[in-house]
Amino acid sequence: MRTGYVVFEIRRAFRDSKFFLFAVALPVGLFVLESNVIRDVPASYLMGSLAAFGAFKAALDTGARTAVERGIGWQRQLRLTPLTGAGYLTAKAAVAMLVALPPVAGVSLAAALLSGVELTTPAKLATLLAIWAGIVPFALLGLLIGQLATPQNLQAYQGGVVLVMSFVGGLFIPVTSFPAVLARIAEVLPSYWLAEIGHSVAPGGGRIGQAALVLALYTLALGVAVAVRYRRDQARP
């Protein structure tokens, strides 16, 4: 419907080469580092964790950057066009999803080339696709942060959420090495379940069905939160 607007946003997203370089280089670099340091888990497991990390961070960051558009009054400008709030948020979420693809591809490629992780079976490629599909709640979480933060405190919000999701969710350090209490807490986070999808490529597999259910519930809850918050924000004088 609003293809002109979606194309406009995609061009903006892909023009930001610094953002892209960082979005891909960070998870790839972490994978190379960890696969050489952490010896007690297979490289395919680390690949699942870090592909999930790269994907959710790219999506969340993209969504959260709407705080700037809100802060400078660009969203007000858009309200003076036929673009609806739903149209705006959907386009932003779609772009966030798109931006999350290169990090998944980058980590997978590094795993295949440097650590010899076998990725050629359809089932394993499907897993990579499932990681990507699983980041919808993170794109929404980013949009929610974008509605709550100001351009000035955005970094703090965004950085804090990414750190908790990554460390506590077990994406940087495998949950298997967590103390029992922390491992229980990890299971509350959507990032844990996103990584769980990724871990299905590793020996031992992952609880795909349960992960899909948790992520779907997060999607629902965050979708409602974004919609309610956006409506309330627009009703402000």
Among 14, 20, 69, 157, binds another protein (CB under 8 A): 69
Q: Does 232 bind another protein (CB under 8 A)?
A: no
Alpha helix positions (H), 65-121: 66-71, 74-79, 85-99, 101-114
Cα–Cα dist 164/135, whole Å: 16
Rounded least distance, CB 231 to another protein, Å: 13
Q: Does 77 bind another protein (CB under 8 A)?
A: yes
Stretch that binds another protein, among 29-37, 64-72, 131-139, 161-169 (CB under 8 A): 64-72
Which tokens go with 178?
A: 């967590």
Among 38, 83, 183, 212, binds another protein (CB under 8 A): 83
Q: Does 11 bind another protein (CB under 8 A)?
A: yes
State the CB neighbour count (10 A cutoff) for residue 45: 23
Nearer to another protein, 62 or 191 (CB): 62
Q: Does 80 bind another protein (CB under 8 A)?
A: yes
Question: Using CA atoms in the order 61, 67, 73, 75, what is the torsion angle rounded to 10 degrees?
Answer: 70
User: Would you say 170 and 195 are in contact if contact means Cβ atoms under 8 Å apart?
Assistant: yes
Task: Give the residue among 146, 170, 167 at the shortest CA–CA distance from 158.
Answer: 146
User: What percent of the residues of the chain are helix, what percent strand, and what percent coil, each to the nearest 5?
Assistant: 80, 0, 20
Q: Does 231 bind another protein (CB under 8 A)?
A: no
Residues 16-35 that bind another protein (CB under 8 A): 16
Rounded least distance, CB 157 to another protein, Å: 20
Residues binding another protein: number (CB under 8 A): 23
Among 36, 81, 155, 210, binds another protein (CB under 8 A): 81
Rounded least distance, CB 225 to another protein, Å: 23
Q: Does 179 bind another protein (CB under 8 A)?
A: no
- How big is the CA angle at 210 (ends 208 and 214), to the nearest 5 degrees? 115
Cα–Cα dist 42/166, whole Å: 19
Nearer to another protein, 73 or 122 (CB): 73
The residue ranges that bind another protein (CB under 8 A) are 2-5, 8, 11-12, 15-16, 69, 71-74, 76-77, 79-83, 235, 237
